Structure 1
């Protein structure tokens, strides 16, 4: 049986190391991408919560019209909007399944907004039954809390689109690199055999 030359042994070792590094890099990039997308989603939701809070206070919406206000604003923005009093009792919600007057105090983002002024959570909605990125912001001077919910399917869709591109790069790059390293190793082996 013919023994492998030193060049071919190095080729196998370097190829294995390269493939391992690319796989580890792919997993790391995927987790960083998810963190960044959730952070971006949260930033956008907080900006929207501040805007909704500003609109509801400047238009002096009556308590009877808060639910209708939520539905109209959510229809235009494509998100879920909930408005609660300072204790977490629901005054209005863009979801048709929500019951006005129910307490939302037990939700993490609401409890945090009551105690700290703002809160956020990524969790499954008990009302609409899907994963949501929630932020809640207390509106100063109005004694209300505005909560914005963005469906995680939007974030997941973007993450999946980027993951497909990343997967193509991670799986095609090694083939190109392995081919190039194979070509170099073959040249080095032929030069070594001539000497």
Structure 2
């Protein structure tokens, strides 16, 4: 009887692991979001978010946000995903708690901070790499609407992030929706700075 119970427990555990593994594979291959809609939702911030403010703020949790008229580059991404009911604040917080060692320790934190973790580009890079699909940073044809791109700015190697638009420049380069200091804009800056990462989630 004890052997039977042990075997049943082991078999159920094996099934659960298999299901979770298959779900992870499917999740990595199938984006959580609709790329065209994500680009469209990001563009809704143009003319609405008109300034840039990197100040630390205490946020509600989940779905906390700074005032819509301001924010940083990551807020463009966070707000676009929220319009698809994907809350990066909550998702990043959960993933960091479960996988603390995978995330950068650039800020000297000993534990998660739900107010700021999701608003930091290096954390989003880890989250998208772990939970989404990592794509080419050199093949121009691989960039699709709704993809997330990160850069390192030459000014102090500062990280930056934006969303690929559904529109392209005259030379075929996809435009980027981002906030680099003057509010949310749609601009031809894909190759202006060294690309660090390219993700689909």
Q: TM-score, normalised by structure 1?
A: 0.32
Bigger helix share: 1
Q: Which one has the largest radius of gyration? A: 1
Q: TM-score, normalised by structure 2?
A: 0.31
Select the structure with the greater relative contact order (CA < 8 A; seq sep ≥ 6). Answer: 2
